[in-house]
Amino acid sequence: MAHIIVVGNEKGGAGKSTVSMHVATALARMGHKVSALDLDLRQKTFGRYASNRQKFLEQSGLELPSPRYHDLPEVDQEGLQPGENIFDRRLSAAVAALEPESDFIIIDCPGSHTRLSQVAHSLADTLVTPLNDSFIDFDLLAHIDTDGVKILGPSVYSEMVWNARQLRAQAGLKPIDWIVVRNRLGAQQMVNKKKMGDALDNLAKRIGFRTAPGFNERVIFRELFPRGLTLLDLKDIGVQGLNISNVAARQELRDLIRALELPGVEVDF
């Protein structure tokens, strides 16, 4: 069966689609069969990223390893069982069709609470939650006291993950491996950065997730999107001498893939 990776966070702007595309493309470049779904049916940033890649490769005459992007299938309302949600059926139909031909299925969730996102979390073997290094974003995971130290209790997103874990346990499935990825880290060791690290370490022990470093804030990520490219594609399009920032970003991607501890994956880029 395919290993399902869900990239989720109910707050926008945390870099979910950038993480999704880089993880999906990295796995494809390592020889794995990767399928991709975007559950943000309105913005479809991940879907647009994949579409941009396909167009650029066709126009450039290039063939680069890529995830295979799929839209959710349409479902006839009349074919639903009594009380069945149409979004449940669309997602389950997509996953059922992709599993036989995929090693990994990457599912990018919207930056809001939706039925599709809720169901996707219950399907996750690995859950990746990109989080900006800010207590504003931390509030999505847990409420914290005014001192920035004492955790008062879990917040809405953590409760949703807990419910997804309960559903998986009831179905006899393996527990979700939840990784919170600290994204857009600043280069300097500031007081806020340390406080965030301490708070995440404290919360991780209480509600059961691992933490991993993500991507620093870099202009290159904004430049790659229109062509659907990732950091791993730069040499293939003729960029011979990577600058220091690009080299550092590639290392961040290596560290992230290793931290996910995905089955059968050995980082070789």
Query: Which residue from 65, 66, 16 is spatially nearest to 43, judged by alpha carbons?
Result: 16
CA-angle at 22, arms to 114 and 167, nearest 5°: 35
pLDDT band with cut points at 50, 70 and 90 for residue 265: very high
pLDDT tens string 149-201: 788 888 999 999 999 999 999 999 999 999 999 987 765 556 677 888 889 99
Q: How far apart are the first and last CA of the chain?
A: 25
What distance in Å separates the CA atoms of residue 86 and residue 81, rounded to the nearest whole number? 9
Query: Which residue from 180, 174, 175, 181 is spatially nearest to 162, judged by alpha carbons?
Result: 175
Structure tokens at 161: 């993950």
Statement: residue 256 has pLDDT above 60:
yes
pLDDT tens string 8-46: 999 888 899 999 999 999 999 999 999 999 999 999 999
What is the average pLDDT across 64-80? 92
Q: How far is CA 144 from CA 44, 154, 225, in A?
A: 32, 9, 35
Q: What is the distance of C-alpha 106 from the center of its chain? A: 7
DSSP 232: G
- pLDDT reported for residue 188: 54
